[in-house]
Structure 1
Amino acid sequence: MRVAFAGTPEFARVALERLHAAGFDIPLVLTQPDRPAGRGMKLQPSPVKQFAQAHGIAVAQPRSLRLDGKYPDDAQAGREALLAARADVMMVAAYGLILPQWVLDTQRLGCLNIHASLLPRWRGAAPIHRAIEAGDAETGITLMQMDAGLDTGDMLLTERMAIRPDDTTGSLHDRLAVLGGRLAVEALEMAACGGLVRTPQPAEGITYAHKIEKAQAQVDWSQPAAVIERRMRAFDPFPGASTAFGDEAIKLWRAQAVRADATPAPGTVVAVGNDGIDVATGEGVLRLVELQRAGGRRLPVADFLRGLPVAAGQRFGAAA
């Protein structure tokens, strides 16, 4: 079976690696154009491109695949590359570009998508972040037959995964990437012998995982401590949870929700110790245990306090 692949970040690279290791013939990889990154803002290839080049797989990087869109020359070049690849199927994982109908129709078996949620919950761009933020007890991978809608296609394979109490988006991402790669291989092996069964998604339980914006990183101390703690884990490693402390912007990485009978105004420091900085919230107390100053490193609270003393009665979330 000839398998074209479309994907960009590390989540997709893991799947591509598993498909390659399983021996599938991969004639073409589609990935997004190189982006500036790092302090020098030099153009950097995506993790998928790096893997493809290291293993001699042809790469195409169109800015769009819409033949009637802003970059018709890119789309036409992508079309020619796909047609030349003569793939039986395309596996898609976090590609980042909308696939128009002509792409879905090019392969004999269409396009299969590795989606990091239990569809129809958390359709859209940020399913891992939103599952943690919402306090879901579990998530998983859905292998889906792609159609023209936003994650609306029929389900092919599904496997569940528990969300641990200390999971961040980073840790859950890594486990789901491995699961996604395994299910991708299983799906293609089943497709090769006609064993894949398509199941329409339920009409109930649809939610959307909207893209994470940097502005959402600001901590709202009027929220319950448990909600803030979940958002901190959901926004780790990007964009991180941020708050003001005096004239400084502080990032908060790890915390624990602590019960409290009565607390002062949200954002007020209640107590300070080497085991944490206790901050009042709209409901309960949040004990901060890992923080970061601008330009600094993530530090355990004891080390953080050596560089920036914090005292009871001071406020987070308000500039001096």
Structure 2
Amino acid sequence: MTPPRDASLVYVGCTAPAKAVLETLIDHEYPIEAVVTIGPEMARANSVSGYASLEGVASEHDMRVYQPQGYSMEDSADLDFFQTVDPDLLVVNGWQRLIPESILETATYGALGNHGSAFGLPKGRGRSPLNWSLIEDRDRFLLSVIHLDPGADSGDVLLTRKFDITDFDTIETLYYKVTLLLEEMLLEVVPQILSGTLERAPQRGTPTYYPKRNPEDGEIDWRNGTRSIYNLVRAVADPYPGAFTFADDQQVMIWEAIPFSSDIAVDAPAGTIVAVFWTDEFVVATGDGTVLVRNWDADDWTPTEGSQFDTPSAPPTDRIDSQDHHTNLSSTTDDA
């Protein structure tokens, strides 16, 4: 089933996964009249992770391209653009701001977005649900296509699909999975929406919300367990700012670290480099074992056996990813 050729879609996005989904919709001849994206300067100013402009793809297919006055699209010129296009449907993907209600109302059938969590909406609304799912050591993710309303991820659910999170996933591979699944889901739901045959289901239950993560939240506390450190590193790796630590006030970025052994260097204080290999990979003691750091970089530092990374100045309970801090904010199985 394909959308009517006289339908009018506007696609809104500014990330590499959003670009991939747009290309799939184009390949299936979806009637996309205009693409809304942002330039690199606005992306940097708003700390957009995984940024990619959609302008090139749109121009190749003679689609109208619009760059809003601001990322939040609150300028009157932004509203004027959508009113002029007068679309049947908006498809929003990888846009890390709420879409103003006035813009949502310009589309005949409203706007589609997507969100999810380990237990499905309304659990885990808010920021960075994929990153949080890795940090929380979840083994699944329920992705939903939703009908956007002015709230944060609170719209009616149109379709939900599940995928697994394996021990080998990183934030990048989770985006691969989301992209493949979202392409299938949009190809299924868009024609039904435009034909008026798709039923919407209100979200049920008490919502929970993930807090916003900032680059400084990626600091490693080596006193934590090996699994916790592994999850943090893979959750904030590229295209995110990355996990990091300090050695004598020199920042060291840790892009890949994997569990190594719970039997080697069991008496070494947490944060101690217990081995450095000929590959420049090195082993660090954790609160309950060791991790192998496989990919790292620093401006003026090299690993030395016996040296020790600094302990974060903030108490563990003050960290945004501490259990005390985000209890009742993250996805949970109950409605408490």
* TM-score interval, smaller chain: 0.7 to 0.9
Alignment of 1:6-25 (within 5 A): 6-25=12-31
2:290 is aligned to 285
Q: Which moved more, 1:132-141 or 1:189-198?
A: 189-198
2:223 is aligned to 222
CA shift in 2, pair 1:219/1:98, >3 Å? same
2:66 counterpart of 1:63: no
2:317 counterpart of 1:316: no
SS in 2 for 1:195: coil
SS in 1 for 2:33: coil
Distance in 2 (alpha carbons) for counterparts of 1:34 and 1:8: 10
CA shift in 2, pair 1:96/1:36, >3 Å? closer
Of 46, 55, 60, the residue aligned with 1:49 is 55
| Contact 1:65–1:78, Cα closer than 8 Å, also in 2 | no
| Contact 2:98–2:151, Cα closer than 8 Å, also in 1 | no
- Displacement, 1:283? 2.5
1:142 is aligned to 144
1:128-157 deviations in whole A, cap 9, x for unaligned? Answer: 211111111011421001111100111101
SS in 2 for 1:132: helix
Distance in 2 (alpha carbons) for counterparts of 1:51 and 1:231: 34
2:316 is aligned to none
Of 27, 35, 55, the residue aligned with 1:29 is 35
SS in 2 for 1:226: helix
Q: Which runs of 5+ in 2 are unaligned?
A: 1-6, 45-50, 313-336
Q: Which runs of 5+ in 1 are unaligned?
A: 39-44, 70-74, 296-306
2:8 counterpart of 1:5: no
1:187-230 deviations in whole A, cap 9, x for unaligned? Answer: 102223333221122314x4433333111121111211110110
Distance in 1 (alpha carbons) for counterparts of 2:150 and 2:251: 42
- Displacement, 1:104? 1.8
Distance in 1 (alpha carbons) for counterparts of 2:293 and 2:123: 31
TM-score (ref. length: structure 2):
0.78
Root-mean-square deviation (Å): 2.7
Q: Which moved more, 1:89-98 or 1:231-240?
A: 89-98
CA shift in 2, pair 1:110/1:52, >3 Å? same
Alignment of 1:14-163 (within 5 A): 14-35=20-41, 46-64=52-70, 75-115=75-115, 117=117, 118-163=120-165
CA shift in 2, pair 1:54/1:252, >3 Å? same
1:226-254 deviations in whole A, cap 9, x for unaligned? Answer: 10110000011121111123463222122
Alignment of 1:264-279 (within 5 A): 264-273=268-277, 277-279=282-284
1:259 is aligned to 262
- Give 2:80's aligned amino acid: E
Q: Which moved more, 1:49-58 or 1:262-271?
A: 262-271
- Displacement, 1:27? 1.4
Q: Which moved more, 1:46-55 or 1:150-159?
A: 46-55
CA shift in 2, pair 1:245/1:34, >3 Å? closer
